[in-house]
Amino acid sequence: MSTLLDNLVAALPLIARLGGGGVVLTDRRGLCLVAMDRQGQAVDEVETQVLEFCRRTAESGETQGQTDPVSGVEQVAVPIESYVLYMSNVSKVERRNEFFNVLKETLPLIARVAGGEAVLFDREGRRIMTADPALGRARVGPGTISEPCREVMRTGKPNIGSSRSIPGAMAVRIPINPSFGFGFNNATAVRQKERLLDQVKSTRTGKYSWEDIVGRSPQILQVVEIAKKAAQSQSSVMLVGESGTGKELFAQAIHNASSRSHGPFIAINCSAMPESLVESTLFGYEEGAFTGAQKGGRAGLFEQARGGTLLLDEVSEMPLDTQAKLLRVLQEREVSRIGSAKPIPIDVRIIATSNRDLPQHIKAGRFRPDLFYRLNVIDIRLPPLRERKEDIPEISQRILDRLIRQNGRFISAIEPSAMERLQSYEWPGNCRELHNVLERAVNLASDDVLLAHHFSGLSAATAAHEFGTPMDPPLLAGHLAETEHSVILAALKRHGGCRVDAARELGISTTTLWRRLKRMRIDDQPTI
């Protein structure tokens, strides 16, 4: 018997290393005689303990196996004459859990790189953890079962194919081990591309002309004069101004007054364009150029704008590598689709806009100076509303006329004291903010005249600035909160509820916007 015991003890290190888990030798009572870890090293603190599982195995005289329902650790006990050999895969489970936690932490990064949702699923294909590009952390999944994920776990083979939930999106599903796998798709990027194409389709023609530019202040008249001269040229135009100053309005007016007015006017918002789609959207692609490429290929915006005008809205947000390709296109006056070396001549006039200080962007290394000089042939700077407050009455009336047609509400006038409040405000959001404030006032008005109290948030917020007198802090905070509420809702409305785009326009992070929405109890605003 001692020879058997000696042989078993000698074999324990090898069994522990091969099994990748702990190994224990007990007597028939389940009393631990020798214990070793996965490296074959003795574990003294386990000795003299009693394992009930081993005692039952000795009594039955048959090999027993069980799985811990909580930890998932598998245990096996083998009776060998007067002894019981106990083994488990606890170390393997620990390593698997460590790997699972690493993947869990990496899930948001995978989602951001893939441009869609990333998930962890169990052996049944059940979604247990999910992450999307807008969320900085993984969250517990809905627990729904995906049949493709279940099939991946059943076969043990990865699957790459079309997403079942988003038409046009691709999905990848990979089994990691028998317990779980992970997958990701590019659904968010596909949605952004669809919104991008919808935006392009909706602006095939320019609808604004010089008559739509309201104001008689010297500042705006001077800008209109420069823009009219630019319309008679074929040179590139750079429109620079704060958000809401009317850059696209001027771009369309220039197009419609030019010799290219018979051609298409195509506008693309560079800040709303996913980096992975910039090149294919601008330059086009051939069939089979990449996974998911449209059959027959697709013409880029430079081709689609042939004979007309291409507006690169917020060009400062364009990725640096795309800036280099754009510069080459402008210099050579030809474009090559992705997947093709055949050059295609282009005949398009470029108008670019920016609400950033591009020279500062150049100093910071975020914008190419050679591209800036190529685009900035005719430089037109649009004045903010606060620099031409004498135009506010006329602009307000034009906005009211439009709101009356849209809402069916008749507003005959804005009382003088109310107009004073509009003209005393600094308008950080410019004409867009003015439109939002007037729309809110129209909805609140009980008669056909807009009164001063309909704009109380504006007057209170500017009173201290005008008169240099301190305000009661709670009163000021309340009015500022009201103004913030209006500006945020207006930004969300302009971007169709997309928090990412709204946050970019407001100059804050998506997380900050989410917190403010939650604080204002409007965190159930639609998101994209």
Q: What is the CATH number of the domain that holds 216?
A: 3.40.50.300
Q: Identify the pLDDT of residue 478.
A: 47
349-354 and 309-313 strand pairing = parallel
Q: What is the CATH number of the domain that holds 105?
A: 3.30.450.40
Instruction: For 170-189, give the DSSP string.
Output: EEEEEE-SSSEEEEEE-HHH
In a domain, 26, yes or no: yes
**Residue 500 burial (CB count, 10 A):** 18
Q: Identify the pLDDT of residue 213.
A: 95
The whole-model pTM stands at: 0.56
- In this structure, the answer to whether residues 242 and 346 fall within a common structural domain is yes
User: What letters, b where the CB count within 10 A reaches 16 and e where it falls short, cover 24-61?
Assistant: bbbbbebebebbbbbeeeeeeeeeeeebebbbebbeee
- In this structure, the answer to whether residues 485 and 423 fall within a common structural domain is yes
Q: Which of 385, 498, 388 is nearest to 438 (CA)?
A: 385
- In this structure, the answer to whether residues 73 and 104 fall within a common structural domain is no
Q: Is 496 exposed, middle or buried (0-12, 13-18, 19+ CB in 10 A)?
A: middle
The two tokens of residue 206 are 């320019």
- Report the alpha-carbon distance of residue 31 to residue 29 in Å, rounded: 5
Give the HSE-up count for residue 209: Cα atoms under 13 Å, Cβ half-sphere.
5
Q: Which residues contact 157 (CB under 8 A, 6 or more apart)?
A: 175
Q: What is the pLDDT along the chain (528 residues), one digit of tens a residue?
A: 468 888 888 888 888 877 767 789 999 999 998 888 877 788 876 767 888 999 999 999 999 988 877 667 788 999 999 899 998 877 777 777 777 788 888 888 888 888 788 899 998 999 888 888 776 678 888 888 888 899 999 999 998 887 766 666 788 999 988 888 989 888 777 776 666 665 555 456 778 999 999 999 999 999 999 999 999 999 999 999 999 999 999 999 999 999 999 999 998 888 766 666 778 888 888 887 776 667 778 888 899 999 999 999 999 988 888 899 899 999 999 998 988 888 999 999 999 999 988 999 999 999 999 999 999 999 999 999 999 999 999 999 999 998 888 877 788 889 999 999 999 999 999 999 999 999 988 888 888 899 988 887 774 444 333 333 333 444 444 445 556 666 787 777 777 777 777 777 776 766 677 767 766 655 443 333
- In this structure, the answer to whether residues 203 and 280 fall within a common structural domain is yes
- In this structure, the answer to whether residues 293 and 412 fall within a common structural domain is no
- Report the alpha-carbon distance of residue 457 to residue 309 in Å, rounded: 41
- Report the alpha-carbon distance of residue 397 to residue 45 in Å, rounded: 86
Q: Identify the pLDDT of residue 528.
A: 30
Q: Identify the pLDDT of residue 247.
A: 95
Percent of residues, the chain, with pLDDT higher than 70? 84
In a domain, 393, yes or no: yes
- In this structure, the answer to whether residues 173 and 315 fall within a common structural domain is no
In a domain, 97, yes or no: yes
- In this structure, the answer to whether residues 293 and 393 fall within a common structural domain is no
Which residue, of 334, 354, 383, is where some domain finishes? 383
Integer Rg of the chain from CA: 34
- In this structure, the answer to whether residues 375 and 398 fall within a common structural domain is no
The two tokens of residue 429 are 């959001």
- In this structure, the answer to whether residues 48 and 64 fall within a common structural domain is yes
Per DSSP, helices labelled H in 1-89 are 2-19, 52-60
237-240 and 349-354 strand pairing = parallel
Q: Is the separation of the CB atoms in 111 and 132 below 8 Å? A: yes
Q: Is 184 exposed, middle or buried (0-12, 13-18, 19+ CB in 10 A)?
A: buried
- In this structure, the answer to whether residues 363 and 484 fall within a common structural domain is no
How many domains is the chain partitioned into structurally?
A: 4
Phi, psi of 286 (to 5 degrees): -95, 160
Q: Identify the pLDDT of residue 525.
A: 35
- In this structure, the answer to whether residues 105 and 178 fall within a common structural domain is yes
Sheet bearing 237-240, strands edge to edge = 265-269, 309-313, 349-354, 237-240, 378-381
In a domain, 65, yes or no: yes
- In this structure, the answer to whether residues 206 and 349 fall within a common structural domain is yes
**Residue 297 burial (CB count, 10 A):** 18
Q: Give 145-158 pLDDT, tens digit per residue.
A: 888 899 999 999 99
Task: Give the structural domain span for 438.
Answer: 387-494
- Report the alpha-carbon distance of residue 414 to residue 450 in Å, rounded: 5
Q: Give 444-485 pLDDT, tens digit per residue.
A: 888 889 998 888 777 444 433 333 333 344 444 444 555 666
Q: Identify the pLDDT of residue 186.
A: 81
Which residue, of 160, 185, 210, is where some domain finishes? 185
Q: Which of 519, 518, 487 is nearest to 503 (CA)?
A: 487
Q: Report how far apart, in Å, the C-alpha atoms of 375 and of each of 265, 354, 367, 369, 483 are.
A: 17, 11, 12, 10, 36
